[in-house]
Amino acid sequence: MKQNLFGNAFFMVCLSALLAACGKQEQPVRPQPVVRVARAETITSEAARSYTFISEPVRVTQLAFRVGGPVDNFTVQAGQFFRQGQPIAAIDRRDFLIRRDRAEALCRQAEADYRRTANLYEKNSVSATAYEKARADYARARADFDMAVNELDDMRLLAPFDGFVQQTHIERHQEVKPSQAVVTFIDLSQVKVEVYVPEDMAVALRGGVPDSLVHVHFDRLPGRVFTPSATYLTQTAADNNLSYCLTALLDNSDNSLLGGMAGNLSVSLPSTSTYVSSLAIPQAAVCQDDRSDAYVWTVDADGHVSKSLVTLGRLLKGSKIEVISGLVEGQTVALTRLAFLSEGQTVQVEGLTIEKGGRP
């Protein structure tokens, strides 16, 4: 009996050990993540850089009445041209005429009362209080009359400059409120183009943007090159990116340009060389940390990942970006799974063999 108990116990111990060994063998080995990489390489590009844009009118404004009422004169169509001072729309003037005539009558009455009281005051026949009241009543009546006259003038909507109606917002006989938009009015005497340039370009042009260095081309006007009449560069980077807004104004006295035309603006850097060499990597390799510092994940020959801070320059053709510092030519950077990489992690490189020194 004791032998059977001992045999059963021995059998259970062996079975437990066997099961534990099998369990250890079945645990899967986590595979190394596979990433696609590229290497930092030196490329040559033209010193003149080109940026695309969509042209805009130099001025865009919404015109509105300063007074409210029913519009009785409005036959405007989108695209219609108006000279400065021409009427665009008008409000029914009947109520304004009545208010002006009433204010004029009250003003004349108050003026007569004031003059009569002033004569009596000089003879010491009325008190100073009565005189001051008559003078205040006249001043108030005069202000009301001036306001009624101004309102009568404001019932006409005049073109503030030579321009075109871009869009109408009301219909004839519609009751409008003060400051309600009536038309969108644009000025095409000049055309404005805006592009965003990187930091190195802004630094090169920080002393001013010579108009001779800027040339504008429109896709629909092949062969024509426009030189801006004025250029402006913002002195701080835009909120949404690390670029600076370059604005160019083009003369459009011949009315050959429209708003919404596509084109490109080229800027020739003040350099003695027509071509410049830059260390470049794909834009897809660049990440940003919480402090908006740019960095990349470099991969060595053993597949170890390391975080490297970089200083970036201008955007280049082929979806590449210039690297000013932080990398050397031939270093390998990761392009995929960037959000899942960590310092010292080991990865498998997709489709490339990295030699010692970091070159694929």
The rounded percent of the chain whose pLDDT value lies above 90 is 62
Helix (H, G, I), strand (E, B) or coil at 224: coil
User: Does residue 304 carry a pLDDT above 70?
Assistant: yes
109 pLDDT higher than 60? yes
DSSP code at position 323: E
- Min mean pLDDT across 95-109, 148-162, 200-214 is at 200-214
56: tokens are: 């805009």
Strand ranges for 169-227 from DSSP E: 175-176, 181-197, 214-218
Lowest mean pLDDT, pick from 78-87, 202-211, 272-281: 272-281
- Mean of all residue pLDDT scores within the chain: 86
pLDDT score of 68? 95
Give residue limits of the domains in the chain: 34-44+276-349, 48-58+188-275, 93-154
Q: Is the pLDDT of residue 1 over 90?
A: no
> Which superfamily, per CATH, for 48-58+188-275?
Efflux pump adaptor protein, beta barrel domain (2.40.30.170)
At residue 309, the pLDDT reads 94
Per-residue pLDDT at 11:
53
What pLDDT is attached to residue 313?
78
Of 73-82, 149-158, 234-243, 255-264, where does mean pLDDT reach its minimum? Answer: 234-243
Percentage of residues in the chain having pLDDT higher than 70: 84
Question: How do strand 48-54 and strand 262-268 relate by DSSP bridges?
Answer: antiparallel
Q: Determine which of 3-12, 69-78, 251-260, 347-356 has the lowest per-residue pLDDT on average.
A: 3-12
User: Does an H or E element contain 153, and which?
Assistant: helix 128-154
Question: Is the per-residue pLDDT at 82 higher than 90?
Answer: yes
- Parallel, antiparallel, or unpaired for β 348-349 and 34-35? parallel
Can you say how many angstroms the Cα of residue 253 is from the centroid of all Cα atoms in its chain?
28
CATH architecture of 93-154: Orthogonal Bundle (1.10)
Cβ 298 vs Cβ 311: under 8 Å: no
Binned at pLDDT 50, 70 and 90, residue 13 comes out as: low
Is the confidence at residue 48, as pLDDT, over 80? no
* pTM of full prediction above 0.85: no
On the question of a common fold for 34-44+276-349 and 48-58+188-275, the answer reads: no
Q: Helix, strand or coil for residue 16?
A: helix
| pLDDT for res 129 | 94
Which of 17-31, 63-77, 105-119 comes out lowest in average pLDDT? 17-31
Would you say residue 329 has pLDDT above 50? Answer: yes
Between the CA of residue 354 and those of 126, 280, 283, 351, 358, what are the distances in Å?
107, 18, 21, 10, 6
Give the mean pLDDT of 254-270: 89
| Model confidence at 23: pLDDT above 60 | no
- The single-letter code of the amino acid at 269 is L
Q: Which residues of 308-347 are buried (b: 16+ CB within 10 A; e: fewer)?
A: eebebbbbbeeebbbbeebbeebbbbbbbebeebeeebeb
pLDDT given for residue 350 in this prediction? 84
For the domain 34-44+276-349, what is the CATH code? 2.40.420.20
